[in-house]
Amino acid sequence: MKQFLLLFIVTLTILTSCTSDETTTYYLIRHAEKDRTDKTNRNPNLNDKGLKRAKTWAKYFDLIDLDAVYSTNYNRTMQTAKPTADSKYLKIVNYDPRKMYDSIFKQNTKGKTVLVVGHSNTTPVFVNKILGKKKYEWMKDDDNSSLFIVTISNGKKTSKILKIH
């Protein structure tokens, strides 16, 4: 009887470990408000309002255990990501917006909770690539408060948008 019970427990443990699926959560935001004084500057910094918003994002993520922070390699996205990354003692990982959600990114983020900072034309596209369908349109150029949350659990993908002011 003891052997049967032991065999049952071992079998149950193996089956449970094989069927468990890691949950992956992506938080995707557009960079905070940028300095628009020089229309020719293709890589502007954040303005004062944007710097405050970047700190607000860090406060929002204060109670969320992030495993990684990704950002495009632009001043405004890096400056948006920095307060959150610093508060989590994480290094910002740069990604190429032309190679969103490729096999390497999927592998590196599987089972993790990740913040991704992008742009009005890349953030919804990134969300759509994760979902595997076109659900979201480009963001308005003045939308710096939308937070896309995508969760993958047991093969099921869900998404929602929150406004964080």
Residues 6+ apart with CB under 8 A from 21: 153, 154, 155
pLDDT tens digits in sequence order for the chain, 165 residues long: 555 444 445 444 444 444 456 999 999 999 999 999 999 999 999 999 999 999 999 999 999 999 999 999 999 999 999 999 999 999 999 999 999 999 999 999 999 999 999 999 999 999 999 999 999 999 999 999 999 999 999 999 999 999 998
pLDDT at 15: 45
CA 143 to each of CA 29, 154, 155: distance values in angstroms, whole numbers, following the listed order: 10, 32, 31
Identity of the residue numbered 1 = M
Token duo for residue 8: 């049952």
Residue ranges per domain, the chain? 21-163
CATH code that applies to domain 21-163: 3.40.50.1240
Identity of the residue numbered 80 = T
pTM: 0.87
